[in-house]
């Protein structure tokens, strides 16, 4: 069993082997289940993701935390991904609660 940390620092360990350049060289680009060129794939990705530039004030410790996690990757991307996961988990939680209520109503109502 994997031990969990009691600190507030997230566990970033991964059991997957590291990716090599050879892995990336073998990658296939697919759009809608069909093989596509790199340019077609990039175009499809850009079309799916729209972004809006906004200016917000974040607490310094929060920015420093994400910069530390990101390294050279881009801390803004990590903040965006984290916010997206929170929104998605709220939807999942609401759906789960709804299903449980329906099941309880059918069995006991």
Give me the residue spans of the domains in the chain.
22-51, 53-109
3-state SS of 18-33? CCCHHHHHCCCCEECC
> Structure tokens of 10?
């997230």
> Is the CB of residue 13 less than 8 Å from the CB of residue 24?
no
For 65-82, what is the mean pLDDT? Answer: 88
Most confident of 45-54, 62-71, 78-87: 62-71
Rg (CA), the chain: 20
> Is the CB of residue 60 less than 8 Å from the CB of residue 54?
no
Instruction: With cut-offs at 50, 70 and 90, classify the pLDDT of residue 1.
Output: very low
């Amino acid at each position: 069993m994997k031990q969990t940390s009691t600190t507030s620092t997230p566990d970033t360990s991964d059991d997957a082997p590291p990716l090599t350049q050879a892995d990336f060289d073998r990658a296939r680009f697919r759009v809608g289940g069909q093989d596509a060129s790199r340019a077609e794939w990039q175009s499809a990705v850009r079309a799916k993701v729209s972004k809006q530039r906004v200016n917000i004030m974040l607490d310094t410790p929060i920015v420093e935390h994400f910069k530390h996690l990101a390294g050279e990757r881009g801390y803004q991307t990590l903040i965006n991904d984290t916010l997206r996961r929170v929104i998605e988990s709220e939807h999942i939680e609401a759906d789960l609660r709804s299903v449980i209520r329906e099941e309880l109503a059918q069995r006991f109502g």
